[in-house]
Amino acid sequence: MNKGFWVKLKRPIMALAPMANVTDAAFRNMIAKNGKPDVFWTEFVSVDGLLSEGREKLLVDFWHGEDEHPIVAQIFGANPENFLKVAKLIKDLKFDGIDINMGCPDRSVMKQGAGGALIKNPKLAQEIFLAASEGAPALPVSIKTRTGSSKDTLEEWLPHLFEVGPAAITIHARTVKELSLVPAKWDQVALAVKMVKDLPEEKRPLILGNGDVTALAEAEAKARETGADGIMIGRGIFGNPWMFNRATPIEKVPVHKRLQAMIEHTKLFEKKFAGIKDFAVMRKHYKAYVNGFDGAKELRMQLMEAENASQVEKMVNEFILVPSRTQ
């Protein structure tokens, strides 16, 4: 078992979740600047796609800066040989670790036999893990999964993962079938922790919990309650690049600074992805940044029509001219 950088991290570990069209290089840059987590994750990327003619478009999702280390590249697929090849690529791209998605409930991913479908195919899951480990033996390989397919089956599923020796396992505390439609079941994370304690110390993966956490204090409480080594935060990061900043929680950030951060984020997005990603991707961020203050609804409606960073900056600056709104 190669734990790599994981052994150097203080507990509880705070990790940024991989979220497609959210945690891209622009947003991670903002997070690194305003409140860096202990571990960054990339968006998840198809191993098949990375070995196809369209690989250049997908490599964009692997862009990362020096201020984002340690950073883990997350990949998905169902072909072990492709995991071996892509693991070599990830090593060459100077990532600190590899994470294999074995929990995504997206139908197109499941149809490939990838993501959450691997929970029903533990033999293939093991082959995929071993192939990735062989492709980049110097890097720790981790797994992100769920509590089961249509029902909670951690007691049957996790032992298959323990056999191959992942450095860490992140448990999204819902089944594949449950998507994000029910509250996260943190008792399942506690169960995973209990199961790991029954293993010899040298074979124990770290356990991270994931699901519904929206604040750092809440994450720390979940770690204490479950005994997890760390917590992964996903949707709570929307509109809040200060999420991992203990000194400056978002409640202490004035509205005008939040809006200036949104402008900076937009400019970064445009600089990095102009002609590559649709500017409309930013709209989900605007919904989160512009919330909870006087006039927020009206500004959000304007921002939904913006087509570039200049327009966003103009709209915000005009809004800020009304002092009572941004105190």
CB-based contacts of 129: which residues, under 8 Å, 6+ apart? 100, 141, 143, 161, 164, 166
Q: Which two tokens stand for residue 27?
A: 């947003």
Q: Which residues is 205 bridged to in the sheet? A: none
Question: Which residue of the set 104, 158, 168, 208 is catalytic?
Answer: 104
Please name which of 292, 293, 288 lies closest in space to residue 326, comparing C-alpha atoms. 293
Tell me the C-alpha distance between 251 and 257, whole Å: 12
| Cα 140 to Cα 71, 77, 183, distances in angstroms | 11, 18, 31
Element at 112 (helix H, strand E): none
Pairing label, strands 13-16, 230-233:
parallel
In three state form, how does the secondary structure of 6-61 look?
A: HHHCCCCEEEECCCCCCCCHHHHHHHHHHCCCCEEECCCEEHHHHCCCCHHHHHHH
294 CB-side CA count, 13 A: 7
CB-based contacts of 142: which residues, under 8 Å, 6+ apart? 6, 72, 97, 98, 99, 100, 166, 167, 168, 169, 170, 205
104 is catalytic: yes
Please name which of 274, 319, 277 lies closest in space to residue 299, comparing C-alpha atoms. 319
Q: Which two tokens stand for residue 283?
A: 């709209």
Q: Is 96 helix (H, G, I), strand (E, B) or coil?
A: coil
Instruction: Please provide residue 299's backbone torsions phi and psi, each rounded to the nearest 5 degrees.
Output: -65, -40
Active site residues: 104
